[in-house]
């Protein structure tokens, strides 16, 4: 099990960071503060270009000149120098004259780094994603998701029709799952369970991790048919495929009925209350009476302070018409589905474990 700081220590550190960020903002005149907030968009696009063009991979073996990098990537030499200089300004690269080297931050954009964030940057920075964010005003005006207005189809249909973007999206999900797994493993004991069902388990990253943590358990992955070959491959790589059953189908229709732990990571937040209730009602109907349900989700804290869940909430609104929820909202939703929320287990990451059981 990973050695991580306790939740209260991590929260204290986050409070200090938040206070320092607030102080930094108050140290400049308000118009400059607003300008700095807005130019975050330019920084994000710089990061995207660096990742998209493969600059980190070109610098993997050591420092190089911008001209060398441009020759390898087939990019414009002067524009490449200007991109690398800007990236150095954001801490991704070290600059020494016209030579550039990767920093620790920049190394996370290497395509084969074990902790690579490249797929996440490519998913968020992609024009197919950014064009939807451009319609946040419309989403707030109407309360409706905007993926269809931009792409002509819902986000899920787009992923179905666009294998290139689906590959980026699913790899990003896998990476994000791997990123917060150590914090989940440190907070929850998976060993008492004999059959773990991952509902909407994507590429199988979470199920692979849970089965590694619980060596005596079997696993079931329920996903859309098209993702199953990828999940099978991931589960095989993790050495747990022999303990797994993969099922294709829609979780709105049925879920496997033979688990004692049902897990849904970042699935319920994809849906508005009506759809989320339909999904949870199906899970409640099909799960055995003594089984446990675990939702891995962000929980919106009370009060007005900064929290990642509040930004992710807008992302859900825009792309799927979904939402992030408060503790009270989770309890109410689960209650309507015939489930009783037993506890919320915090972790040091943005993920909480919302635990529930069928109500008596
Ligand atoms: C936001 S992703 C989360 C994936 C995974 N749980 C994770 O945390 O990486 C939501 C997942 O739900 C799956 N999904 C969406 N609608 C579904 C449906 N009707 N039946 C089964 N799976 C579905 C998607 O294919 C996708 O893998």
Instruction: Tell me the CA–centroid distance for residue 316 and ligand 1, in Å.
Output: 13
Query: Are both 197 and 341 inside the same structural domain?
Result: yes
Two tokens, residue 197:
């069902």
Closest residue CA from atom 19 of ligand 1? 250
- Domain with residue 221: its CATH number is 3.40.50.150
Label residue 72 by pLDDT band (50, 70, 90). Answer: very high
Give the mean pLDDT of 12-38. Answer: 91
Query: Are both 92 and 205 inside the same structural domain?
Result: no
- Give me the residues paired with residue 198 across strands: 221, 263
Residue from 151, 203, 230, 269 carrying the catalytic annotation: 269
Residue 152 lies in a domain: no
Ligand 1: atom nearest CA of 205 is 9
Query: Are both 206 and 348 inside the same structural domain?
Result: yes
Query: Are both 83 and 200 inside the same structural domain?
Result: no
Give the mean pLDDT of 159-181. Answer: 92
When mean pLDDT is compared across 131-140, 155-164, 331-340, the lowest value belongs to 155-164
For residue 285, the enclosing domain spans 182-358
Instruction: Report how far residue 177's alpha carbon sits from residue 353's, in angstroms, rounded to the nearest whole number.
Output: 14
For residue 54, the SS3 value is coil
pLDDT value for 11:
87
Residue 235 lies in a domain: yes
Residue 104 lies in a domain: yes
Query: Are both 221 and 91 inside the same structural domain?
Result: no
pLDDT, tens digit, for every residue of 185-215?
999 999 999 999 999 999 999 999 999 999 9
pLDDT value for 155:
87
Instruction: Tell me the CA–centroid distance for residue 270 and ligand 1, in Å.
Output: 9
Query: Are both 329 and 247 inside the same structural domain?
Result: yes
Percent of the chain with pLDDT strictly greater than 90: 89
Instruction: Tell me the CA–centroid distance for residue 227 and ligand 1, in Å.
Output: 9
**3 pLDDT higher than 80:** no
Pocket test for ligand 1, best of 123, 184, 200, 271 (most atoms within 8 A of CB): 200
Query: Are both 342 and 239 inside the same structural domain?
Result: yes
Query: Are both 65 and 188 inside the same structural domain?
Result: no
Out of 69, 85, 109, a domain closes at 109
Q: 314 with 322: CB under 8 angstroms?
A: no
Residue 243 lies in a domain: yes
Query: Are both 196 and 343 inside the same structural domain?
Result: yes
**82 pLDDT higher than 60:** yes
Q: What does 57-107 look like in DSSP terms, one character per residue?
A: HHTTTS-EEHHHHHHHHT--HHHHHHHHHHHHHTTSEEEETTEEEE-HHHH
Give residue for tokens 């118009």.
31
- Domain with residue 73: its CATH number is 1.10.10.10
Instruction: Report how far residue 90's alpha carbon sits from residue 191's, in angstroms, rounded to the nearest whole number.
Output: 43
Query: With left for phi above 0 and alpha for psi between -120 and 50, is residue 187 left, alpha or beta?
Result: alpha
Q: 231 with 204: CB under 8 angstroms?
A: yes
Number of folded domains that form the chain: 2
Query: Are both 205 and 98 inside the same structural domain?
Result: no
Query: What residues line ligand 1, using a CB cutoff of 6 Å?
Result: 156, 173, 177, 200-202, 206, 223-224, 227, 250-252, 265-267, 270
Query: Are both 203 and 343 inside the same structural domain?
Result: yes
Label residue 360 by pLDDT band (50, 70, 90). Answer: confident
Pocket test for ligand 1, best of 183, 198, 202, 226 (most atoms within 8 A of CB): 202
Give the pTM: 0.92
pLDDT value for 345:
98
Backbone CA torsion sign across 12, 17, 23, 29: negative
Closest residue CA from atom 23 of ligand 1? 200
Ligand 1: atom nearest CA of 252 is 19
Residue 33 lies in a domain: yes
Q: What is the CA radius of gyration of the chain?
A: 22
What ranges in 117-154 are assigned the alpha helix state H?
118-125, 127-133, 136-142, 147-151
pLDDT, tens digit, for every residue of 100-128?
999 999 999 999 999 999 999 999 999 99
Residue 5 lies in a domain: no
* Degrees, nearest 5: CA angle 48-49-55: 110
Closest residue CA from atom 26 of ligand 1? 202
Query: Are both 194 and 341 inside the same structural domain?
Result: yes
Residue 136 lies in a domain: no
What is the chain's mean pLDDT, rounded? Answer: 96
Residue 6 lies in a domain: no
- Cβ atoms within 10 Å, residue 295: 30
- Phi/psi at 113 (nearest 5 deg)? -70, 140
307 is catalytic: no
Out of 59, 87, 109, a domain closes at 109
Out of 75, 109, 143, a domain closes at 109
């Amino acid at each position: 099990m990973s050695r991580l700081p306790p939740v209260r220590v991590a929260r204290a550190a986050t409070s200090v960071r938040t206070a320092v960020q607030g102080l930094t903002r108050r140290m400049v005149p308000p118009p400059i503060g607003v300008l700095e907030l807005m130019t975050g968009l330019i920084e994000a696009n710089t990061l995207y270009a660096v990742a998209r063009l493969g600059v980190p991979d070109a610098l993997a073996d050591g420092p190089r000149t911008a001209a060398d990098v441009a020759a390898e990537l087939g990019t414009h030499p002067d524009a490449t120098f200007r991109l690398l200089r800007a990236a150095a300004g954001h801490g991704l690269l070290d600059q020494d004259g016209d030579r550039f080297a990767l920093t620790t931050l920049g190394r996370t954009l290497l395509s084969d780094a074990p902790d690579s964030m490249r797929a996440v940057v490519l998913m968020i920075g992609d024009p197919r994603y950014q064009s939807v964010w451009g319609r946040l005003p419309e989403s707030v005006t109407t309360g409706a998701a905007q993926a269809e207005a931009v792409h002509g189809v819902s986000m899920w249909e787009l992923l179905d029709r666009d294998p290139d973007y689906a590959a980026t999206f699913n790899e990003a999900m896998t990476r994000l799952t791997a990123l917060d797994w150590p914090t989940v493993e440190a907070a929850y004991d998976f060993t008492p369970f004999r059959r773990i069902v991952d509902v909407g388990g994507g590429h199988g990253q979470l199920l692979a991790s849970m089965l590694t943590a619980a060596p005596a358990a079997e696993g079931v992955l329920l996903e859309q048919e098209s993702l199953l070959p990828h999940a099978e491959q991931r589960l095989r790589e993790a050495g747990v495929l022999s303990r797994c059953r993969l099922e294709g189908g829609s979780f709105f229709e049925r879920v496997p009925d033979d688990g004692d732990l049902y897990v849904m990571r970042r699935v319920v937040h994809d849906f508005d209350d009506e759809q989320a209730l339909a999904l949870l009602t199906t899970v409640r109907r099909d799960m055995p009476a003594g089984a446990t349900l675990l939702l891995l989700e962000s929980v919106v804290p009370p009060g007005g302070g900064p929290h990642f869940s509040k930004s992710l909430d807008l992302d859900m609104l825009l792309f799927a018409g979904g939402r992030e929820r408060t503790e009270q909202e989770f309890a109410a939703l689960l209650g309507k589905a015939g489930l009783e929320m037993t506890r919320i287990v915090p972790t040091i990451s943005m993920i909480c474990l919302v635990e529930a059981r069928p109500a008596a």
